[in-house]
Homo-oligomer: A and B are copies of this chain.
């Protein structure tokens, strides 16, 4: 009988869920809106009903072995989501307990970057590795650290906030209330801020001058870089310098075998990987030079978030 794990990715807009086997094949997938429910109990009821429908739709004989959930600010120890800024329900949301009213499977919950790290370990670029880091370069910057084959949840379950390490103490205002966090530079939003600063402070011609300050996206910057646009290329260089410094410091602490980049900005391929690798090596302590791989996620083109969530279950089961 085929064993399957349920993976649930709770995003600000949609909640995507799928049934995943131990090799990372998603046999069935569906989604519901995350935003349409004032009461979290209504949301959980609807989500549980949809998951049960998805399970019944399977022709193959199967056994469900657990539910893995990736959610912003998800806490592994408590099974709760704490004050997630992009969810409308406030306070401490007891997701694990709420699911227990509908399912008798083990439930494991963590934040999305940690789920991504476990996904890479079970199905992806970190297969067989015991020490690695996944850094998600999306709207913000998230990270998941694996050492000795185990995810570092830390004492309170919230470890892995590389995006909120301070690079420049007097730097850019961050959404977290402090200044100079990595994510104000090395995220999709960060590179947009860099381009806007550059357009304001220079007279350099640029394709990006065709857009208003609020229209520019990281994808546009990538497209301009492909056209050899100086501002776009310099923005990638600056972003890579900040990220490379942060990754070199990360290596000094945890000495990973590889750093895996994931998320929107990592799709810029060589425009981000090449200079980041260069600066990472430039800032690297001698013992670690040329030892640490900087590689892209191999889950990028599959449904990474659902796979990551389901991998939380396979991590325990395998």
**Cα separation A248 to B250 with both chains bound (whole Å):** 14
A255 close to B156 (CB less than 8 A):
yes
Contact stretch, chosen from A24-32, A96-104, A142-150: A142-150
Q: A154-B147, A164-B285 are in contact. Are A255 and B178 (CB under 8 A)?
A: no
- Residue count of chain A within 8 Å CB distance of chain B: 44
Stretch of A41-49, A270-278, A286-294, A301-309 contacting B (4+ beta carbons < 8 Å): A286-294
A166 with B287, Cβ < 8 A, contacts A154-B254, A253-B250 known: no
Looking at the assembled complex, report how far the CB atom of A236 sits from the nearest CB atom of chain B, in whole angstroms.
18
A155, B245: Cβ atoms closer than 8 Å: no
- Chain B residues near A245 (CB, 8 Å)? 166, 169
Nearest-CB distance from A126 to chain B (Å)? 11
Report if A176 contacts B (CB, 8 A).
Answer: yes
CB of A177 to closest CB in B, whole Å: 7
Q: For the complex, is A162 an interface residue (Cβ under 8 Å from B)? A: yes
Q: Which B residues touch A160, using CB under 8 A? A: 253, 255
A283 to B150, CA, bound (A): 28
Chain B contacts for A93, CB-based, 8 A: none
B253 touches A145 (CB 8 A): yes
Docked-complex contact A154 and B255, CB < 8 angstroms? yes
Q: Could you tell me if A150 and B153 are in contact, using CB atoms closer than 8 angstroms?
A: no
Asked whether any CB of chain B lies closer than 8 Å to the CB of A161, the reply is yes
Interface: A159 (CB within 8 A): yes
> Which partner residue on chain B sits nearest A282 by CB separation?
B178
Which of A131, A153, A162, A249 has most B Cβ within 10 Å? A249
What's the least CB distance linking A279 to chain B, in Å? Answer: 10
| B177 engages A286 (CB within 8 Å) | yes
- Give the contacts of A140-198 with B (CB-CB under 8 A): 143, 145, 147-148, 150, 152-162, 164-166, 169, 176-178
Cβ contact within 8 Å between B156 and A152 = no
Is A252 in the interface zone, CB < 8 Å from B?
yes
B contact residues around A152 at 8 Å (CB):
147-148, 253-255
The docked-state distance in angstroms from the alpha carbon of A169 to that of B157 is 31
Asked if A237 is at the interface (CB within 8 A of a chain B CB), the reply is no
Q: How far is the CA of A285 from the CA of B253 in the complex (A)?
A: 19
Chain B residue with Cβ nearest A129 = B155
Chain B nearest CB from A169 CB (Å) reads 6
Question: Closest CB of chain B to A153's CB: distance in Å?
Answer: 7
- A to B CB contacts below 8 Å, 7 in the list: A82-B287, A145-B254, A147-B154, A158-B287, A159-B255, A164-B285, A250-B253
